Amino acid sequence: MRYISTRGTAPILDFQGATLAGLASDGGLYVPEDWPSFSPADIAALAGLSYVETAVRVCAPFVGDSLTEAELRDILTRAYAGFSHVAVAPLVQLDERHWLLELFHGPTLAFKDVAMQALGRLFETFLGRSGGHVTIIGATSGDTGSAAIDALAGRDGVEVFMLHPQGRVSEVQRRQMTTVLAPNIHNIAIHGNFDDAQALVKAMFNDAAFASRFALSAVNSINWARLMLQIVYYFYAAVRLGAPDRRVSFSVPTGNFGDVFAGYAARAMGLPIDRLIVATNQNDILHRALSLGDYSTGSVTPTDAPSMDIQVSSNFERLLFDLGGRDGAVTAAEMRGFESARAMAIPADQRTAAAAIFDSAAVNAADMRAAIRWAQDSCGETIDPHTGIALAAARASGGTTPVVTLATAHPGKFGDAVERASGVRPQLPLRASGLFDREERYVVLPADLAAIEAHIAAHARPVA
């Protein structure tokens, strides 16, 4: 499989190259040149397979010659061996139409582990071949950072610099990052919000001299490998609910548009997904974009679902590229316009194409809390606020198709908010015990490119 940039001018790479590059050198995002196609018979053949075997089959066409099937299976087997549930992503029935897909059984208790545990091993394998070294820079609203740090701490060949918005992640999220004291892990709290952190990361990639001096790479969902690994659970869940013979919808708590874009990719590959529901919190740019064509940023509002307190959603560019006929020049012009005006009107034909696939909803705090209470009181399931947002949107949607709500974080990561909503204090699983007793290490810096680059330059290993 070859990978092309959404902005059309970066070199075309294979899977190994795209994984190590992270962001394309023209500022775009790598996408597969074509969507692999799964026939109904291919999908039916996934029935009864374990999560790892499903992942091998779904990922193989994307990986191409970069890994043998045995190498891929070995990476995935080791990635999911540390999950606390043997199903990796168990489906839990709520009522006759609604299911939860629990994606939080990995080491840091959020869906990010599903991709990151494998991505860490992909980096290790690819860098091991060349004896190379990369500097990973990332931005997090809480969950990507902890998952990346767990996956990469102590690994040879990688130095990790993770930016989070100071005071805007939960205490559990912060401690999951800052109590990891491995020498290759560097946490940076910035004065600003997640969008500022993400913009700084992209600015460092766009600083060609800095990017090549430190061999920058990415673990955010701008890295295609993240999304490939997230496509798997759409197949896994849909097959369990009757695909290819029954259509299934998914409700996805959305911030950076990565998780729901993985669902879009699964649908493009042939999985019979009926609707993809894009559920946002009060930071509703994606809901406005999909329902009104208004992709314009506002200020970021802090909410009880802080991991979704995002305005500029990186992966929306991948959707615009596909909907705009996969013309890099068109997407590059659109993104340049958006980056300067902080606003963009989605063209009518692209809105119509999106409406055939996506529904969207902006869920307020009261409706999110009501969804948490309903899950608790009517189903005995304790869910976190991000899942609550998506469940509220799922229950408000019409139709008879089964709807799977992605449960993206363990409720214990957001204990205060869950307790406020339901009166129930969720416990953190045993694997997180001791978090509050450990030493923390991080620096606080202004959201200023020169300051961040100077800090990284002082601690990273330049290319020889």
Q: Which residues bind ligand LJ64HWYM (CB under 6 A)?
A: 140-145, 220-221, 255-256, 258, 307, 314
Supply the minimum distance, in Å, between the C-beta of residue 54 and ligand PLP.
20
CB nearer ligand LJ64HWYM, residue 143 or residue 150: 143
Pick the catalytic residue: 112, 240, 267, 275? 112
CB nearer ligand LJ64HWYM, residue 150 or residue 274: 150
Alpha helices in 82-223 (DSSP H): 112-130, 143-152, 171-178, 194-206, 208-213
Per partner kind, with CB cut-offs from 5 to 8 A, the member of ligand PLP, ligand LJ64HWYM, none near residue 220 is ligand LJ64HWYM
Supply the minimum distance, in Å, between the C-beta of residue 146 and ligand LJ64HWYM.
8
Per partner kind, with CB cut-offs from 5 to 8 A, the member of ligand PLP, ligand LJ64HWYM, none near residue 331 is none
Tell the burial category of 229 from Cβ atoms under 10 Å away from its Cβ (0-12, 13-18, 19+).
buried
Question: Is 112 marked active-site?
Answer: yes
Per partner kind, with CB cut-offs from 5 to 8 A, the member of ligand PLP, ligand LJ64HWYM, none near residue 386 is ligand PLP
Nearest to 164 by CA among 144, 180, 184, 134: 144
CB nearer ligand PLP, residue 328 or residue 388: 388
Per partner kind, with CB cut-offs from 5 to 8 A, the member of ligand LJ64HWYM, ligand PLP, none near residue 408 is ligand PLP
Nearest to 383 by CA among 278, 276, 251: 251
Angle between helix axes 112-130 and 69-81 (nearest 10 degrees) is 130
Amino acid at 120: G
CB nearer ligand LJ64HWYM, residue 176 or residue 360: 176
Supply the minimum distance, in Å, between the C-beta of residue 234 and ligand PLP.
13
Tell the burial category of 346 from Cβ atoms under 10 Å away from its Cβ (0-12, 13-18, 19+).
buried
- Residue whose pair of structure tokens reads 């299934």 in the numeric block: 248
Contact 407, 371 (CB under 8 A): no
Contact 143, 110 (CB under 8 A): yes
Supply the minimum distance, in Å, between the C-beta of residue 58 and ligand PLP.
18
Which chain residues interact with ligand PLP by CB under 6 A?
A: 110, 143, 221, 253-259, 307-308, 386, 408-409
CB nearer ligand PLP, residue 72 or residue 290: 290
**Which residues participate in catalysis according to the annotation?**
112
